[in-house]
Chains A and B, each alone.
Chain A
Amino acid sequence: MQAGDADRRAVLERMAAAIVHRGPDGSGVLIDGPCGLAHTRLSIVDLATGAQPMTDAGESLAISFNGEIFNYRELRADLIARGFVFRTTSDTEVILNLYRAMGPDCVARLNGDFAFALWDRAEGRLMLARDRIGVRPLFYARRGPLLAFASEMKSLFAVPGIEAELDLVALDQIFTTWAPIAPRTGFAGIAELPPGHMLLMSSGGAPAIRRYWSLNFPRAGETPHQDERATGEELRALLADATRIRLRADVPVGAYLSGGLDSCVVAALARAKVGAGLRTFSVTFEDAEFDESAFQKTMSRALGTRHLAIACGAGDISRAMPAVAAHGERAILRTSPAPLFLLSGAVRNDGLKVVLTGEGADEVLGGYDIFKEAKLRRFVARQPGSERRPRLLQRLYPYLPRVQSQSPQFLAAFFGASPADLADPLFSHLPRYRTTSRARMFFSAEVKRATAGYDALDELRAGLPAEFARWHPLSQAQYLETTHLLPGYILSSQGDRVAMAHGVEGRFPFLDHRVVEFAAGLHPELKLKGLKEKHILRTALKNDLPPEIARRPKQPYRAPEAGVFFGPEADPALAALFAPETLADGGLFEPAAVARLAAKAQRTSSLGFAENAALVGIATAELVRRRFCGPSLTASARAPRLARSV
């Protein structure tokens, strides 16, 4: 930066103010030579002396850090034994001293959810690092010699010269795969540091990005025999320890309790450590199609937790959508982040700022329906003429009436697999991507022009590791879920952003990297046994759970959709987003086509998957555009150069 220190401080303060919701407990700015750091603090560990940005004892290092290092006590003891001196009891100072001991490779020792910027004055080097799975966000932008970075992009827009322009390729990626493909973000010229990566930049030099962790699976057929009982015991011990270290805090820690297997496992393991008085939280829906409150009550009673349930209707979701879009900073295709936004608000009102959740279990232990669907599609494809095999596909979606009423021939047509599909590395996800991408038909001519010839699936394929082809099909599908959708949607739009909106930190025992690595090495049949999902988790934890919870089949977490925009409880301001003049002004969507979709949504209660996705996607893209880009797309954002920007 060329500006004087006072100007730089003002910019840093504005950047911090833009994300004060993430850290309402304190803030600070530090300027040292070419580097400026700002921080907003959510005080959880070392309330008295943990303020940031923090320098080391020798004042040669400075750090701004968001997140938690869960193994900080062990690391601290180890460093003290090696002669390092600590001035605080915080996990932040552990990173500083570990960096002094090991340099940038210190990240490999951290068990945690983190995004940090560390300035090494002696080396004249800045290091940015992000946790392995992508729990905590970290964005950056380069403008000339300046590298600006922040936990949320709205901070970057406080930097002179960084404007918000929607990235049209990212919009295409979202309308195909539900998430931007990292490092691309919803905004042109702003990148995310991908999970498991660090960025190093010396004064005057160019940033170098380095991967320090990746998700790996054994080659298909090369997993040695694993005794189910012993393996299950090992998994349980790992999960118990992952939960134990995630209870570390100088403030009370609660738990989300959806009523599903995963959150019940986490709550049970937490209850075993903290004893009575654990506080649990859940969302209930008026619509029985989505509601799980009976199971929540069962589990809360079994554990003796102090449970708080908030009722969530289409009107509540409707009113929350503008805030959800503003926090998420990108279009989304589902309304499901909104109830979690409301829930984090209730947690905060109840006086808590840390919650454990069961997030991640479906990715690492094979819980999603898409894994079963892929297995069945392969089974059906092996005998194309069979009338019986496609009927198995109906068993996949007992909660979807429109699938139940299909003939085997249509099921085979919808979920079938051509020889080319079978050879495609994205095999497991092709039906989802193809169905979702129908929503792109609502793009305006300008967006279609800007993305002509671009195929998000080609980009996904190109990013797969060389070993991918040698993995078991379940491992391949898990890899896609864990490295793309998990950080790109589940942990961001539906996780960090809607929790941090109210200064609430989520912690995820299933995403402890020891659990992730252990689960990746499990034989696929221990995860998806026949069509029984998360088999090993059910058997290993069955004594920790009431039988009706341990046996319970997965119910996907879903929330009302079309009714959020056009139902009797809907906020009229949301329906107004579909008005032709609004859409024409934004230039993203074709007003006449959207008008027909909106009319259809108002006259029928059964929209198709792509139609629901399009409704939510169009509304949230418009909300993001209006919140960050002003009333109209800028001329430069309309230019085709955006097609390959970043």
Chain B
Amino acid sequence: MSSTESALRAFIAENFMYGGDATALAADRSLIEEGLIDSTGVLELVSFLEERFAIQIGDAEIVPANLDSIAAIVAFVASKNPAAEAA
């Protein structure tokens, strides 16, 4: 598992699962359909990604294609900041 993914899973476990186990969450599962993020959750997620991975996310990029699964988020972060793995 990449460091981006483990940081992301830890964030999801803490903030959206309140300490629950995020390791079993399939990387391609929709976070919305899993009931893990709502409209407030999206904004929390964006704020976390910007701070943790030193990236800027434009309004047009805040779309499910980029942010609705762990796999999508990992790919999105990598495209925004190829150095994120090392961050």
Contact = CB atoms under 8 A, between A and B. Distances in A.
Interface of A: 400, 402-403, 405-407, 409-410, 413-414, 434-435, 437-438, 441-442, 592-597, 600, 606-611
B38 interface: yes
Nearest to B37: A608
Given A405-B43, A407-B59, A409-B64, A435 B20 contact: no
Contacts of A441: 17-18, 20
A438 B37 CA distance: 10
B67 to A, nearest CB: 8
Nearest to B63: A409
B65 interface: yes
Contacts, number: 63
Contact of A593 (B18, B38, B40, B67): B18
B64 A402 contact: no
A596 B40 contact: no
Interface string B1-45: 000000000000011011110000000000010010011111100
Contacts of A597: 18
A405 B47 CA distance: 13
Contact of B64 (A413, A606, A610): A413
B32 A596 contact: no
B19 A413 contact: no
B54 interface: no
Contacts of B64: 409-410, 413
B43 A413 contact: no
Nearest to B32: A413
3 closest A-B pairs (Cβ-Cβ)?
A608-B40, A593-B18, A409-B63
A407 B43 CA distance: 11
Contacts of B59: 405, 407
Contacts of B20: 441, 593
A596 B14 contact: yes
Contacts of B17: 441
Contacts of B42: 406, 410
Given A407-B62, A407-B63, A596-B19, A606 B40 contact: yes
Contact of B65 (A409, A434, A437): A409
A610 B16 CA distance: 11
Contact of B39 (A402, A442, A594, A595): A402
Given A413-B68, A437-B35, A606-B40, A442 B18 contact: yes
Contacts of A410: 39, 42, 62-64, 67
Contacts of B14: 596
Nearest to A610: B38
B68 A438 contact: no
B38 A609 contact: yes
7 contacts: A406-B39, A407-B60, A407-B62, A414-B38, A593-B20, A594-B18, A608-B39
Contacts of B39: 400, 402-403, 406, 410, 414, 608
